[in-house]
Structure 1
Amino acid sequence: MGPRGNRLLPILLALVAAASPAPWSVAGDERAVAEVSGAPEGVVWVAQLSDLHFSVHHPERAYDFRRYVGPALAMVNPDLVFITGDLTGGGSAEAVLPNGRCEGVNWLGDPNSPVGRFASHRLAIKTSRSFVHHLQIQGNRCKHSAKVSQFEFGGMKGKSKDLLTMKQNEVEWMEYSSTMKDVIESSKLPRKKFYDLRGNHDSFGVPVSGGDYDFYEKYSINANLRRQGRVQSITLENNGRKHLFVGFDSTMEIGLRGPTNLFGHPTDKQLIELDQSLSQWDTDFNKAPVTKITVGHFPMSFSALTESGKNIKDVFLKHSLAAYLCGHLHTRFGKNLKRYYHRATQEPSLYEHYYQSNMHQGYAIPSAEENCSEAAAPVEEFWEWEIGDWKRSRSMRILAIDDGFVSFTDIDFRLGSKSVIILATFPLDSRSMQRTSAPRDFKCHAMGASTFDTVRALVFSRHEIVTVSAKIYDSRPGNLEVVFDSEMKRVSANDSRGDMYLIPWNWRAFADPSPDRYWLQIEAMDITGDISVSQLRPFSVNGLFAEVNWTWKEFFVMGIQWASVYHPALQCVLALIFTLLLVPRASVVLLKDQQSVYTYLRADGGQYTSLKYLLGGFIWLFVELSRMVLVWSLLLVYIIYLLVFPWFSGHPVTEDSSLASMTFRGWALKSGTKTFHAGTPDVMVIVLPHLCFVVLPMIAILAAMAAERIAFREHYLSQSGKKKDDPHQKSRREVGRDSLWSGRWIRKILIAFCLVVLWKHWKLCRALMKAFAMDPLLHSPVLFYFIPALMAFAVYRTSSI
């Protein structure tokens, strides 16, 4: 090799090294293992954050992240840090800091902020109406207001302040990258310990992964560490026990804009990769115990089926995960966003495919005849734990695995930083950490020495801890009565990253048929005299579940399998609409009875008069609607149009992309000469609200207006005395007392209801216009204008008698 070749050799070697995968990533059959150091034997712990939603409209989110997360991670010193999606996102106009102060909010005045540098540069060049940013101080209240009509950066418009235009903003990604750099430095953790996954907000308007609009591939930690693929795994090993963490990205391959980008969309290929990653230690000859945990963004209730109809839940059950950690749902839906899954021995009932009414419904406790041999088949089960969002709740989770027992505690930074964090690792919370296999563990551990022999807790503190005590309360007397109070001892370990405290106890004395009789709380006092306590939680050493019922909001987002519910719900709504339109019309055509139902209902019905009146009155409404042939026909034509033709056309990905049409099946996108549907079942957020809150109410209101017209006509003829053949005609004195129809006030109320429906329809149309950059006159005249025109026509037709 000549001199020229000698000069090129170092360059080639550098390129090869740069192209090689990071040591903590998994490609193919590679298995990355990290030996845990400085931790108590058999114990590992990780941190999780989610739904950061860093926004140009809400700079306090990134500011608080720098302020609280870095010092907290430095104190906890976790083995891994997972950020489970929605790294950036839009916000509302007003932002008030939790502490009521205005520190660090003004990005224009912060020279270290990417937004501040960019905005200052822009304002230095020219004064632009497209970016006006100021702070208004009102006492101790900080109001952040911003007018952003066309916030541009590198040719990319920013997210709208009203959240209706959802797409990527490079300024927000720059802020995320800068914030994470500061947090990593302040936490003193290696960068390779951080894993940031993509969420649906991070894929809005991203047509191709790795393309110009994919800022995740440019600014995320995973991308910068060259972690390739949508599935990554890392194994932590401590004292011979392995702890396998597998993260996966199930966002859309073609990132549609919101609101039709709401669900996770795993593919068959991804499920195969996920199954392989979870199986990587199953053939290990050492047979070391393995605790498996998966990490993603979307909960099971918002994960679609694959193209072949497979469910990601089946992969998790196959490997009997300890837990699935996710985000996506925010704390505003509730604090019990957790769900237990278990493979039933018998065929599950039909409803279980669509919903589950509480956190762990219908799982029978195994019989006492448990097989304690190692050859016993493992129970197929896993917990799904959704974490609260950083966006508004400022939540962070610390999760620990202690000899296979998985527990966690959530930290709320809305009240400020924490100087002490306590995580009880055993016994487990019987509400949200217990497993169906726990009764077997109880019986089998009773045969000899076990991890049941001590109460254990991890304590993280900025200051030296003086004392830690464990308190157990008995709730049977009707109030909490202390039955165990003992000081815990610190486990001595060299260079320990976390202090483990334990105390021996007679755990057999706390075996009880009630899963929530006994409650545990850990109390710690540091050298400054400050006392901190852990959350009071019930436990059951014999492995019983404590019943937890969701609120209706928690059930709505966690209990319903929306991907499975969409098509049955759509079919039910359509069946109801066609029933209301076709059955009354068929009765009119077949019976050819033109006698007014109103007259029939006034007849004496005996003891069933009230029931007959209600049922007959309901039928009468739609019979009278069907007699308004033109209005009825237009309604039927509109419903058929929604089923046959596209609802509207727009730009589902980027504004410079070609137009695409949306139907109830999803967006019709073209790939070469083929057309495929994307965004199913995501389009349900448009389809079902339109049918349920616009079309159905409109049909009911128009039917009521048609019936009101006939009823008022009867009343008018009766009052004027022109209806000679009416056997139930009232006297003029009785008519004078009857003011039911005076002024047609029922009609006026119905017109007010029409305005409410039109307002709902206008909100939907406005959201679609801004979300998909569409012109209603050109791209969706039927969807936008048919309903207002039909309601106006119906109001006109029912105005006369």
Structure 2
Amino acid sequence: MSTGLRGPTNLFGHPTDQLLKDLDSELSQWDSQSEKPVTKISFGHFPLSFSAPSSSGRTLKDVFLKHSISAYLCGHLHSRFGKNLKRHHQLSNHFLSPQKFFQFNVHQNSFESTVNCSSESPPQEFWEWEIGDWRKSRAVRVLAIDRGHVSYVDLDFKSGAEQAIILPTFPLDSRFMQTSSCHHNYECHSVDSSSYETIRALVFSVSPVESVVARVYDSRYGSLVLVIETHMTKHAGENFRGNLYVAPWNYKAFEDTSPNRFWLQIESNDIMGRSTLTELRPFSINGRSFRLSWSWKEFYVMGCQWASLYYPLLWSALCFMFSFLLLPKALLVFQKNMYTYKNFIANKGIVNGVLWILQEVCRVHILWFGWIGYLFYLILFPWFIGQVFTEGANMVYMTYMGWAVETSNGKGKFEFVGSPDILVLVLPHILFVVLPAILVTGALTAERAIYRERVLAFSGKKKDDLDLNSRRPLKNGSHSSTTSNPHLGKRRIRKLLCVFCLAICWKHFMNCRALVKAYDMNPVLHLLGYGLSIPLLLAYAVSETRSAR
């Protein structure tokens, strides 16, 4: 698409089949031009959790796994959701794997201690690392490749410029840089042992460096105990950018089943007497990964595959609401008055209580048909009309499938664009406006049933005295009895439910206001059905349940 979509329905990246083909070709060309494995790193704007599949169903993840790139560097989130916006991807052969929808921590698979060295093909995997932006966060990432291992350090310039930058390149951080291939290479001796024999770090300093010291700590007994403190020497060579410092060590002494037993820290001192320390980072010389959990916000943006989740969430919510309305109606038709407040009091239980509340909604026919009609409207008809493109003044309509745009060849055919981006409009409306509104109307009708029984009990009348078919309010004795009793007249639960109705209407109004501003809508012409249905149904529910009748 040559013209972009306006926000907020521009949340996802949409790679085309041609782009994926070109990317596949670019990554493949190095395989035939080099005898040794080539370290491949890809850059992109959108995280994979916010990248939609192409029209053929292929994804960026498929291409990256095919070539087992080392890392995919992305942005888009601006580090606003946490510092651990990193994710390890690994090929899964399970067709119905839940990882197509969720990944609950930074690492995709559990660690496998046994290694099959007879397998010729290495594991298909890669790291995804989100990068903080410079404009708002003043964040910079320095990345290095050391004998096929990719490592990085993030710098925060909000706290001031760094006098020295230290980037340890080996051993790797077992939290964010270790891969299962590291464990495979170590156990199967498929990598030259010389790559393990030194601690290595790049040092960039404003002033000349006087000394660099590497320290290794053992956390086996619950506290950090210094086990190695060694001076690092500058490596002489012309093929290095910056200053590479190395220190020999007995790496076999640090083999351990725990990925976070040993911790590394490097200190640099310059001729001005200024000292710079790296953060303590765990490492595992035999390639075991330290399983790190996300916070809820990090999981929300990195662990959820929203493109895959959109339709399951949408149809699950719609099916729940249809069941909420249709099941009790069917029971009411075939087993009339089976579930009432009196029955619930006589046989208390969750099922009886839920079905009683649901059937109270069905007894208010206009309200019930209104909700059924509105749900079908959301499925079958356009929600609203707006100017969705950043250029031009064409007005198009939106459904739950996307924005309907006329195809290039015309002839009255339409294609839907902006999916799954529209989930930012569809799911909040379904889950936080429509569903709460239906539940509140159910609660209002149930409260009216309780109130009616209390009025009847207080007035001493039988249920048959209340003419349900006349649709007339209680008069004379009943009304005076109701008003004379202060406990019957207050109806605190109803007042609370009315406050909920106002809150739902306010949220809906703010959503509509944002849509009008975002897509240059006329509220009367372009937003009428979508905008007024919820307030009208809630107003009718409040009006219909105001008295015991």
TM-score by length of 1: 0.64
Q: Does 1:291 align with 2:291?
A: no
Tell me which residue corresponds to 1:638.
Answer: 374
Tell me which residue corresponds to 1:267.
Answer: 16
Distance 1:800 1:788 in 2: 20
* Count of matched residue positions in the alignment of Structure 1 and Structure 2: 528
Task: Name the aligned partner's letter for residue 559 of structure 1.
Answer: G
Q: Is the 8 A contact 1:365 1:544 kept in 2?
A: no
Residue number among 408, 430, 434 corresponding to 1:691 in the alignment: 430
Residue number among 310, 333, 341 corresponding to 1:598 in the alignment: 341
Tell me which residue corresponds to 2:498.
Answer: 751
Q: Does 1:787 align with 2:534?
A: yes
Tell me which residue corresponds to 2:471.
Answer: none
Tell me which residue corresponds to 1:316.
Answer: 64
Tell me which residue corresponds to 1:763.
Answer: 510
* 2:84 alignment partner, SS class: coil
Q: Is the 8 A contact 1:465 1:525 kept in 2?
A: yes
Residue number among 325, 344, 349 corresponding to 2:73 in the alignment: 325
Tell me which residue corresponds to 1:454.
Answer: 198
Q: Does 1:704 align with 2:448?
A: no
* 1:437 alignment partner, SS class: helix
Query: Alpha-carbon deviation of 1:253?
Result: 4.4
Distance 1:686 1:448 in 2: 54
- Change over 3 Å in CA distance of 1:538–1:629 after alignment to 2: same
> Unaligned regions of 5+ residues in structure 2, if any?
466-481
Residue number among 289, 304, 309 corresponding to 1:545 in the alignment: 289
Q: Is the 8 A contact 1:468 1:525 kept in 2?
A: yes
Q: Is the 8 A contact 1:342 1:363 kept in 2?
A: no
Distance 1:592 1:494 in 2: 89
Tell me which residue corresponds to 1:580.
Answer: 324
Tell me which residue corresponds to 1:797.
Answer: 544
Which residues in structure 2 correspond to 1:137-176 (within 5 Å)?
A: none
Distance 1:558 1:799 in 2: 47
Distance 1:442 1:724 in 2: 81
Query: Alpha-carbon deviation of 1:341?
Result: 1.1
Residue number among 361, 364, 378 corresponding to 1:628 in the alignment: 364
**Deviation sequence 1:593-621 (CA, Å, 0-9, x none):** 2x661111211x4xxx4xx1x33222222
- Change over 3 Å in CA distance of 1:587–1:382 after alignment to 2: same
- Change over 3 Å in CA distance of 1:719–1:773 after alignment to 2: same
Task: Name the aligned partner's letter for residue 72 of structure 2.
Answer: Y
Distance 1:430 1:798 in 2: 62
Tell me which residue corresponds to 2:155.
Answer: 411
Tell me which residue corresponds to 2:313.
Answer: 569
* 2:162 alignment partner, SS class: coil
Query: Alpha-carbon deviation of 1:342?
Result: 1.2
Tell me which residue corresponds to 1:436.
Answer: 180
- Change over 3 Å in CA distance of 1:270–1:648 after alignment to 2: same
Distance 1:429 1:519 in 2: 9
* 2:39 alignment partner, SS class: strand
Residue number among 270, 274, 284 corresponding to 1:526 in the alignment: 270
Residue number among 120, 129, 137 corresponding to 1:393 in the alignment: 137
Query: Alpha-carbon deviation of 1:349?
Result: 4.0
Distance 2:67 2:130 in 1: 20
Residue number among 10, 14, 27 corresponding to 1:278 in the alignment: 27
- Change over 3 Å in CA distance of 1:293–1:724 after alignment to 2: closer
Task: Name the aligned partner's letter for residue 648 of structure 1.
Answer: F
* 2:491 alignment partner, SS class: helix
Query: Alpha-carbon deviation of 1:390?
Result: 3.3
- Change over 3 Å in CA distance of 1:283–1:509 after alignment to 2: same
Q: Is the 8 A contact 1:655 1:773 kept in 2?
A: no
Distance 2:515 2:277 in 1: 49
Q: Is the 8 A contact 2:433 2:507 kept in 1?
A: yes
Distance 1:667 1:337 in 2: 31
Tell me which residue corresponds to 2:257.
Answer: 513
> Unaligned regions of 5+ residues in structure 1, if any?
1-251, 727-734
Task: Name the aligned partner's letter for residue 369 of structure 2.
Answer: S
Tell me which residue corresponds to 2:459.
Answer: 720
Task: Name the aligned partner's letter for residue 52 of structure 2.
Answer: A
Distance 1:617 1:697 in 2: 18
* 2:31 alignment partner, SS class: coil
Distance 2:495 2:175 in 1: 53
**Deviation sequence 1:272-311 (CA, Å, 0-9, x none):** 1000000111112x51431111100111111111101112
Tell me which residue corresponds to 2:208.
Answer: 464
Task: Name the aligned partner's letter for residue 773 of structure 1.
Answer: D
Query: Alpha-carbon deviation of 1:419?
Result: 1.4
Distance 2:25 2:251 in 1: 39
Query: Alpha-carbon deviation of 1:525?
Result: 1.0
Distance 1:495 1:437 in 2: 26
Query: Alpha-carbon deviation of 1:398?
Result: 0.6
- Change over 3 Å in CA distance of 1:583–1:724 after alignment to 2: closer
Distance 1:308 1:724 in 2: 63
Q: Is the 8 A contact 2:383 2:399 kept in 1?
A: yes
Query: Alpha-carbon deviation of 1:725?
Result: 8.5
Task: Name the aligned partner's letter for residue 231 of structure 2.
Answer: E
* 1:717 alignment partner, SS class: helix
Query: Alpha-carbon deviation of 1:791?
Result: 1.2
Taking only the aligned residue pairs, the percentage that are identical comes to: 48
Task: Name the aligned partner's letter for residue 598 of structure 1.
Answer: Y
Q: Is the 8 A contact 1:445 1:452 kept in 2?
A: no
Which residues in structure 2 correspond to 1:242-391 (within 5 Å)?
A: 253-284=2-33, 286-344=34-92, 346-365=93-112, 367-371=114-118, 376-391=120-135
- Change over 3 Å in CA distance of 1:470–1:615 after alignment to 2: same
Task: Name the aligned partner's letter for residue 294 of structure 1.
Answer: S
Task: Name the aligned partner's letter for residue 338 of structure 1.
Answer: K
Tell me which residue corresponds to 2:417.
Answer: 678
Query: Alpha-carbon deviation of 1:792?
Result: 1.2
Q: Is the 8 A contact 1:366 1:436 kept in 2?
A: no
What is the alpha-carbon root mean square deviation over aligned residues? 2.1
Query: Alpha-carbon deviation of 1:562?
Result: 0.5
